[in-house]
Chain A
Amino acid sequence: MKGLLVFFFIFILIGPIVADVPVREEQFIYSIMAFNGRDYSRTFCGENSDTIYLIADQDNFITTSKTLVYYWPITGDWKTDTRSLNYSFEGTLELTEKRRESRIIYPERYTFYNVKGEYEQNWKVAMGDEADKAWQHYQGLIDEYWQATYQYEQAKMAFDLMVDELAMKITEMRNDGIDVTGLVEKLKRLGPPESPKPPDDYIVPPMPVQSAFILNLPRGEYNICFINEDSAVMESSEKRVVVFEKRRADGIGFEVIPGDKWTRPVESKRSSSVLYVNGTTDLYLRPFFQDEYNDLYYQRMIRNDAKGNPSLMNWVYIQQVPGGRIEVTKNNHTSAILVEEPFYVEQTKGSALGYKIVPFDPEGAHKDRDPSLIAFKIPITRETSLIKFELLDNSGLNMAGSSRQVRVIIKSRWQPILLVLCLLPLLVMTVVRMIRSRKYSL
């Protein structure tokens, strides 16, 4: 009996210590590389999901494999364990649109990359031989860079050696009392070799050429299934594909960064939005272009097991608005034009924790550093009750849907008036009933 009790207590104590290992289940999955409006996001559609979501008229890449799938309770999402099992299949994809004939899609070799431009978005997709060319071009650039780096290392070593030798010679000559002016001048004239710069043609370089089913579809609902080499439909491969498009495009949103919480920005996405603040800190604004998508579809495209509202549309950040200006009006009186400025976040000195955002000083305190933030600064005080602002484009015209207002909440001492107003109906009721009772009493 005692032994049983000891065993029971050990069991109780050990229970919480031993962590739950998520159950891994072998599943057929579609790995999806979906274009999300600004870049590519990777997700997968396992057996517990019946729909794949994609944006219309964009290249999306789908591959099939058998892997281990498990639920990760900490983040609340499904994950794959491709290290333990990752078996790719050879075959084709059968795509069927409602009331139309199905068509077969064959895997294609592809790569994608983002090239430098005025905007962040310059995604290019290369397929087939073009993909090989793009990848080879990038590899060529990398090889050139490594070659230049190697040559630079050699030159640097030679330069260091030369400097050391010269320095040693100067020391020896100086010790012997010989004039070293000429050698010192020579040492001063010596310049170190310039280090090569890595190729900056790409914001995101091409990825190694891979093979996938490329789906670029118009808006609609489709069904897909994977047909293996034996011409049989793979079990659990039948899925619905929802291809959706944006409802509205090129809206203007603002990332609003409060001075005291610069790591926790909030977004103002709607032109009718009002930003209420308590007026204790300045605001830093970063305008961005945004597109409007169905909330559920977009979230599921980013992460196939995500939650979203199917009945609502939501604005999605696409890219920062380059080179705009902001017109600010305070308390409906003064208006000013603001330009984007660089700022630096400095840790507060002393025992007090925190930081402050200061103007970036590239020549002084922040030399050889990058600004922490490039934004429009809107000074906020408790006295400024209303600030209206709107974004102007390069030619000074205001951009549609970019006007917003910031209101500093001031709790009035006349709040009890509201409470009295709430109770006014009861007061009226009392008066009415008193009048009635007097009228009908003897």
Chain B
Amino acid sequence: MSLRLRAAVVIAKRRIFESFLNPGYYIAQAVGLLLSYILISGFVSSIDSSGLNYMLHPLYEFIGRLLSGAFGITFLEKLFAEGPFQFVSYVSFVPIFIYLSFSTVFRFSLEKKVGAIELLAYGPVDGTSCFLAFYIKDIILTIFYLLFLILFLIMAALLNNLVLGPAFLYTLVVTFFMAMLLYSISILASVLTDSGASAMVLYIGIILFLLIVIMGSFTIGSAYVRSFSSVLSWLINWFSPFFYWGLALSFLEVGNMLAYFLILLVMMVLSGLFLFLSHQVIKIRGVRP
């Protein structure tokens, strides 16, 4: 193991330990699981003699109207074809993702600004090992959460005679890889800027922009939005985690597993590329703005 990687692992361990001592990680987990619980209970209450009836539960009526209005009935049918768990996994992943990536962006930028990283850099570590530590921490904590989420959902499935569905695990894996890619973008955002606030704005801006583009290409509402979004897609799809997420799921749908795993590989490579870019940036700009 290289010295830089060893340093990154050691710092990551400390960061993970810190996260376990702080309430944020637990609260994000609890919020995610609570959302799962609400969605699963709502789904169970929305079942009648012919299947899922969105009108039976106010939450599902809202979800049904919102999603079918924005993305069409086919989108809704596909999302709930195997049961609630695909949708639940996305929704319950959001709080932990927001907590981890935002805290990374903010903490790293802040530590960079106040000179904490510079202080470390006088020792055996450099800026790259510091941001790598954040990246490793985010990944490890995400894995912890996902494992707990799977256990929770299995329990929920057993108690309600539901089934996780054949695509559930694959979906979760894609979500994890997408998160990896987003974490690397969060690091790039924090090395590109000089303060926590500007890093946060940049990161949120990137995420929102990519989200709007992907949602625009899925929308059924306006042809103008769709065509504008498709033009934008051509330009930015190649580094959009959401695009690869959609692509992997479409390959999964047709059973092309080779292409599915290839997309995961591409996501990993892209994540590595963002980290390499961050490395180059921090090398040029230094660890103190």
Interface residues of A (CB under 8 A from B): 247-248, 256, 258-261, 264-266, 269-270, 272-278, 280-281, 295-296, 307-314, 385-386, 405, 407-412, 414-415, 417-419, 421-426, 428-429, 432-433, 436
Contact = CB atoms under 8 A, between A and B. Distances in A.
A58 to B, nearest CB: 22
B217 interface: yes
A417 B26 contact: no
A432 B21 contact: yes
A314 B26 CA distance: 40
B72 interface: yes
B159 A314 contact: no
Contact of B26 (A281, A414, A418, A425): A425
Nearest to A380: B49
B20 interface: yes
Given A309-B218, A405-B163, 6 more contacts: A277-B47, A307-B72, A309-B71, A409-B44, A428-B26, A432-B21
Contact of B254 (A248, A310, A410): A248
A419 B155 CA distance: 11
A31 B48 CA distance: 42
Interface in B18-63: 20-21, 23, 25-27, 29-30, 33-34, 36-37, 40-41, 44, 47-52
B267 to A, nearest CB: 19
B165 interface: yes
Interface stretch (B78-86, B187-195, B201-209, B278-286): B78-86
Contacts of A417: 155, 159
Given A261-B50, A310-B217, A410 B161 contact: yes
A308 B170 CA distance: 26
Instruction: Name the prevailing secondary structure of the A interface residues.
Output: mixed
B226 A418 contact: no
A307 B159 contact: no
A270 B81 CA distance: 7
Contacts of B276: none
Nearest to B159: A412
B74 A295 contact: yes
Given A308-B74, A405-B163, A277 B33 contact: no
B284 to A, nearest CB: 39
10 contacts: A264-B50, A275-B51, A276-B52, A308-B74, A385-B161, A412-B159, A418-B159, A422-B152, A423-B34, A436-B21
A411 B47 CA distance: 11
A247 B255 CA distance: 13
A266 B21 contact: no
B139 to A, nearest CB: 19
The 8 closest A-B pairs by CB, nearest first: A429-B26, A425-B29, A258-B50, A422-B33, A309-B72, A425-B26, A412-B159, A258-B49
Interface string B218-251: 1011000010001000000000000000100010
A247 B251 CA distance: 12
B161 A256 contact: no
Nearest to B221: A307
Given A272-B82, A422-B30, A425-B33, A411 B160 contact: yes
B167 interface: yes
B34 A415 contact: no
Contacts of B217: 310-311
A415 B161 CA distance: 12
Contacts of A415: 41, 159
A261 B48 CA distance: 11
A270 B77 CA distance: 10
Given A260-B49, A295-B72, A432-B21, A421 B161 contact: no
B155 A276 contact: no
B121 interface: no
A401 B33 CA distance: 34
B100 to A, nearest CB: 14
Nearest to B163: A274
